[in-house]
Copies of this chain bind each other. A is one copy, B any other.
Amino acid sequence: MASQSDRTATIIDGKAIAQTIRSEIADEVRQLSQKYGKVPGLAVVIVGSRKDSQSYVAMKRKACAEVGIKSFDVNLPEEVPESDLIGKVHELNANLDVHGILVQLPLPKHINEEKVLSEISLEKDVDGFHPLNIGKLAMKGREPLFEPCTPKGCLELLFRSGVSIKGKNAVVVGRSNIVGLPVSLLLLKADATVSIVHSRTPDPERLVREADIVIAAAGQAMMIKGSWIKPGAAVIDVGTNAIDDPTKKSGYRLVGDVDFEEASKVAGWITPVPGGVGPMTVAMLLRNTLDGAKRVIEK
């Protein structure tokens, strides 16, 4: 670790911020329950037994329980026919106690992900990945029902750390449908000047060097060097990459897309990996589920 004296950056503690948000959500769920006798419900659907998917799903279900959101657990076998999965989605669409539906990805190869996701009712698309939600996210004067969780979490980290966005120069590294693209659209709506660099950009450092805000979402271990960071910049690292580390029992450790050791000596704010953006994704999923439930219950 960089010694305290070398370090210029305020570490953005995603775990602590996510915990604060989860407390806020728990309060609101309690109020909703007291006033209307109803609680938000989130259906978490998993197909098959991938270990990583199972651990994500377990984490999401546990997080629901902690804030008082009712979790509807749907566990389907690896070989479930696509039509059965879609039937299940329709059933959840019709269930008035379910306010959000999350289908854990990836799905087995015999199932068309795009088709399944498009069957989720727009009002319950808490992942915010429906193209209609993305279109409204992109367009001025339109608001999506839900913003995608990880991008929303990135902006929330900036807001809660007192980093202003309006008029700032933001550079997003990566253009995935899940993070890079939607976070770019959110930053643009928040009046940042936005540049998007990606795998076809010959010189990503050129734009990163001038960024007041860097969102790293390329999935490349430590590709962003300390020398690329503008002094005082806010650096949000979405990457979670496993690299070999013989000093660890497991033989590996997790690192971000940013070289944290170097960058924390230059940046103004920086998120660690793990413990930065990661915990925010689940917190935003809970937030979206609560917001979806409020739209229905308070109506």
Q: Which residues of A contact B (CB under 8 A)?
A: 114, 130-142, 166-167, 175-177, 181, 185, 188, 191, 193-198, 200-202, 206-207, 210
Question: Which B residues are in CB contact (< 8 Å) with A201?
Answer: 167, 193
Say whether, besides A135-B138, A181-B139, A175 and B200 are in contact (CB < 8 Å). Answer: no
Contact: A185 with B138, CB < 8 Å?
Answer: yes
Stoichiometry, copies per complex:
2
Q: Given A166-B200, A167-B200, output 19 extra A-B contacts at Cβ < 8 Å.
A: A131-B142, A132-B135, A133-B135, A134-B135, A134-B138, A135-B137, A138-B181, A139-B177, A139-B181, A140-B177, A140-B181, A141-B177, A181-B188, A188-B198, A191-B200, A193-B195, A193-B198, A195-B196, A206-B210
Q: Complex Cα distance A12/B242, Å?
A: 49
Q: Can you name 26 A-B residue pairings with CB atoms under 8 Å? A: A114-B141, A114-B142, A130-B135, A131-B135, A131-B136, A131-B138, A131-B139, A132-B132, A132-B135, A134-B138, A135-B136, A135-B138, A138-B138, A139-B177, A140-B176, A140-B177, A141-B177, A167-B202, A181-B188, A191-B198, A191-B200, A193-B195, A193-B198, A193-B207, A194-B195, A194-B196
Q: Complex Cα distance A196/B196, Å?
A: 9
**A132, A193, A202 pick with most chain B CB within 10 angstroms:** A193
Contact: A200 with B196, CB < 8 Å?
Answer: no
Report the minimal beta-carbon distance from A81 to chain B, rounded to whole angstroms: 24
Query: Which residue of chain B has its CB nearest to the CB of A189?
Result: B175
Question: Which B residues are in CB contact (< 8 Å) with A142?
Answer: 114, 131
